[in-house]
Amino acid sequence: MPRQYINTPLGQLHVRTEGAGPALLLLGSAGRSARMFDHLIPLLADRFQLIAPDMFGHGNSDPLPARCDIGSIAGCMTEVLDAYGLDRAHVYGFHSGNKIGTALAATWPERVDGLILAGQSHSIIASNEARNRIIGERTQEYFATPTAADEISKALAGWATLQRRLTDLWWPDALLTSAPDRLKKLAQTRTYVIDELQSFDSTAALYSINFSYDLASDLRKIQARTLVLEITTPDEDRLIGRQGAAFCACIANAELQTLEAQGFRITLEDQAPALAKILRQFFEPS
């Protein structure tokens, strides 16, 4: 897969590209690089020109700048499109990527054709306050570094937090079963661990700027034809309920589809064929 570095006002982005056809920009979640699309890209490369950047502070891109916001990151996606000579592109945004995709479509509507905003139910809560409260509860380990008197103590506390994260990731249940696809699960686990190591210093900062982003306001500015893809789980159905319908109601031209999560770490990597089918059907309507 061809790769290149693209200069933007916030630093260099490492971008992977493959395929030919209408442009499709793939925006991933906090804590993950463009590697999360490794299984999806081969299924779409015959239909689309796929463009998958590592977000700032993730993968091989420059660190996340100390002072930036979702809007400025979205603005850098226009630089990516410019680098490939593209006036417009379809956009698929997952979790943090759905916020960046929303800001891109709201502020630069002329650059976005179709738009898919995907995420678990907690990621597509229309209310900023409610969404931030729930996501904050789920991401508190990234903010658990205690206040320390000196930089060395802070760094060591962060190092201990990273160790706990890696210990949790290292042995997922899928590797402890007798399933025949354990080699595939192991490869996915190794990729996840690499992404965690590369992104750990920036993940908390990316969540922080997500919290300060007025998603609800920008949803109402979207002009592009939009699909809200709600990733459902039994736990979220029980704890917070489904949020897709209310999220859709904020967007002028939106439809809703649901997909039950069975994939690796809920990023749909094990459901790439199902996800590819959804993207093809939406971005290439008959």
Q: Is 61 left (phi over 0), alpha (psi -120 to 50) or beta?
A: beta
pLDDT digits (tens, 9 = 90+) for 268-286: 888 999 999 999 999 987 5
Would you say 269 and 188 are in contact if contact means Cβ atoms under 8 Å apart? yes
At 283 the pLDDT is 97
Distance, CA of 286 to CA of 281 (rounded, Å): 8
**Is the Cβ–Cβ distance between 13 and 76 less than 8 Å?**
yes
Mean pLDDT of the chain: 92
Mean pLDDT of 178-182: 79
pLDDT of residue 161: 85
Question: Distance between CA atoms of 264 and 258, rounded to whole angstroms?
Answer: 17
Domains of the chain are: 3-135+213-283 (3.40.50.1820)
Identify the bridge partners of residue 89 per DSSP, sorted by sequence position.
Answer: 112
The tokens 């945004």 sit on which residue? 93
Cα–Cα distance for residue pair 164/224, rounded to 1 Å: 41
Least confident of 63-72, 102-111, 123-132, 261-270: 261-270
Confidence band for 145, pLDDT divided at 50, 70 and 90: low
Q: Which residues pair with 48 in a beta bridge?
A: none
Of residues 168 and 20, more confidence is placed in 20
The pTM for the full model equals 0.94
State whether residue 67 is helix, strand or coil.
Answer: coil
Enter the tokens of residue 205: 């900062």
Assign 147 a pLDDT band (cuts: 50, 70, 90): low
Question: Are 50 and 1 spatial neighbours (Cβ–Cβ below 8 Å)?
Answer: no
pLDDT band at residue 139 under the 50/70/90 scheme: confident
Contact yes or no for 275/40 (Cβ under 8 A): yes
Give the start-end residues of each E strand in the chain: 3-8, 11-18, 23-27, 49-53, 89-94, 112-120, 226-232, 254-260
Residue 251 in 3-state DSSP?
Answer: coil
> How confident is the model over 190-223, as pLDDT tens digits?
999 999 999 988 988 999 999 999 999 999 999 9
**Tell me, what's the pLDDT at 138?**
81
* 212 CB-near residues (< 8 Å, 6+ apart): 69
Q: Which of 190, 205, 238 is nearest to 139 (CA)?
A: 205
Instruction: Residue 51: name the closest of 70, 76, 26 by CA.
Output: 26
Q: Give the mean model confidence (pLDDT) for residues 19-33.
A: 96
What is the per-residue pLDDT for 265? 60
